[in-house]
Amino acid sequence: MTERKVAGRYRLLEPIGEGGMGVVWRAHDELLDRIVAVKEVRYRGVDEAARAELNRRTIREARTAGRLDHPSVIIVHDVVEEEGRPWIVMQLVRSRSLGQIVREDGPLAPERVASVGLQVLDALLAAHAAGVTHRDVKPENVLLADDGRVVLTDFGIASMAQETGITRTGGVIGTPAFLPPERLHGLAATPESDLWSLGATLYAALEGRPPFERATAAATMMAVLNGEPAPLRHTGPLSTAVLGLMARDPAGRMTAEQATALLSRAASDRPSVHPDLIGDPVRPSYRNGPPHTGQPFPDGPAHPGQWPHGGQPTGTGRPVAPARRPGAGRVALVAGVPLLAVAVGVGGWLMLRDQGVQGDTGAASSAVPGQTTAPVRPSRTPDTASAPSGRPSPAIPAGWRLHRDPMGFTVAVPRGWAVKRFSGRDRVEFRPPGRNGFLWIESTEDPETDPVRHWEKVERGGLAKNIWPGYERIGITPLRYRGLPAADWEFTYMKDKVKTRVLDRGFRTLTGRPYAIYWEGPDDIRSNQSFFDKFTDTFQP
């Protein structure tokens, strides 16, 4: 065929993939002498207005993907417009798609599915933290690279959360078998939508078929809206995560952090398999949970309870455990959980949550209106035991409300308090009207993982900079919070000639994300302690 060049520099060699929005070419970048992938967007059966709209979407895709710096997100090198359409130049990943592997080799081993799921989930968290939803997570867009990486590609229908959606009225973009119910109802894509699609993708990788695939697109969509997936042949934390991500109601869908905890266990365990499991699966019932938006923590000026760290920001996810061969891992049964309950997913997830296996999960279960269960406060005694099994969710105090934060947590705050976000860092402030005192909740990375040593380091740095005039330490106390190590730092200092008391709790979640719950107010021990206890009782990552 006739040689073609794009932008006078990218020589197209051969097509290597084709989809609904265009063709992907293997190409040679003659300027930098490297092999790249070039996506040529082709339009069929659209008018000029629609063509301009698609051009805009594709250019936005390149800008969106180009802002994401994550090992499991495809790298975009360049975008050019030629012959009236955009061409996107990307990293060429030597790989096969997850869909191709399942078609050619059959379903993946459960621990491999869990490992793939962890890497895709971490990529989605990076995108969501940047305000981006993928909108088309499916096996064909998950690449299993020859070098062992898992890469999420094709942000061609991604959209910035801050921008107005540009999907045509009445149109649905995506693959029906992997579109969540709310999208089929015409609602906008959200991070929870991507989580549902991830669950369906993992189901297909595990079972060898999409969970709702039917003979026609219309029948498939009806099944997604009204049906139930066939029972999973596999049990344990992996199946619990898959079904939890696929909860029909977005508000009750398993959060990314909860799924991470389950997938991490499944990646290093060998789940039980029950080929003869029959009957309709019971859908998990989850209480409302916040979208988890954690991703890199930007550097910035430290608040009085956070050390101004150096170095590069880090991601939230832990390294993915390498997949073991079948037979290498132990059977993953939760102690005390009936096998059938784990198999169908309901008892598995609810009992995992209630027994404290997840530690810091449970999200916004405290948001149940009218709940009268008394708050359960973590012990302030050093090295106390982890939270007991069956710990009830704390009640929302009278006159307070539950705040759901884009940073990925919920916390109760008094009604009428102002909320302020800080540019360039993961911090949100809650301040009462007409009185002193405020709450900061912040996530800022520090290589020091021991919470006591972390606060001691912060203290040394703050004193060296004289951040707190008249500083007096009351104590740095280790404790267990949500079943994990934490430390409370309490001190006073002079602020505008007024003695001010600070209480600051530092801890990491089960996925390793660091948080600080910082409260300061006039030096009134009883009032400050009451506020601080309510914040820490109701905080859920």
Question: Parallel, antiparallel, or unpaired for β 76-82 and 142-145?
Answer: unpaired
Return d(Cα 109, Cα 271) in angstroms, integer. Answer: 10
Return d(Cα 350, Cα 456) in angstroms, integer. Answer: 38
Q: Is 136 designated active site? A: yes
Q: Which residues pair with 39 in a beta bridge?
A: 24, 88
Return d(Cα 39, Cα 444) in angstroms, integer. Answer: 37
CA terminus-to-terminus distance, the chain: 56
Find out whether 108 and 153 touch, Cβ atoms under 8 Å: no
Angstrom CA distances, 250 to 41, 181, 196, 209, 286, stand at 32, 9, 8, 23, 10
Cβ–Cβ contacts within 10 Å for residue 220, how many?
A: 21
Token couple for 508: 């990491």
Token couple for 333: 């049964």
Residue with tokens 């609602």: 187
Token couple for 363: 């999200």
Angstrom CA distances, 508 to 73, 278, 331, 480, 517, stand at 25, 40, 28, 11, 11
Out of 136, 154, 269, 537, the active site residue is: 136
Find out whether 68 and 127 touch, Cβ atoms under 8 Å: yes
Question: Parallel, antiparallel, or unpaired for β 472-481 and 34-41?
Answer: unpaired
Give the dihedral of Cα atoms 153, 155, 161, 164; nearest 10 deg: -170
Return d(Cα 500, Cα 147) in angstroms, integer. Answer: 55
What would the DSSP string read from start to end of 270-315?
A: B--B-TT--SPPPPP-----PPP--------PPPTTS----S----
Active-site residues, by number, are 136
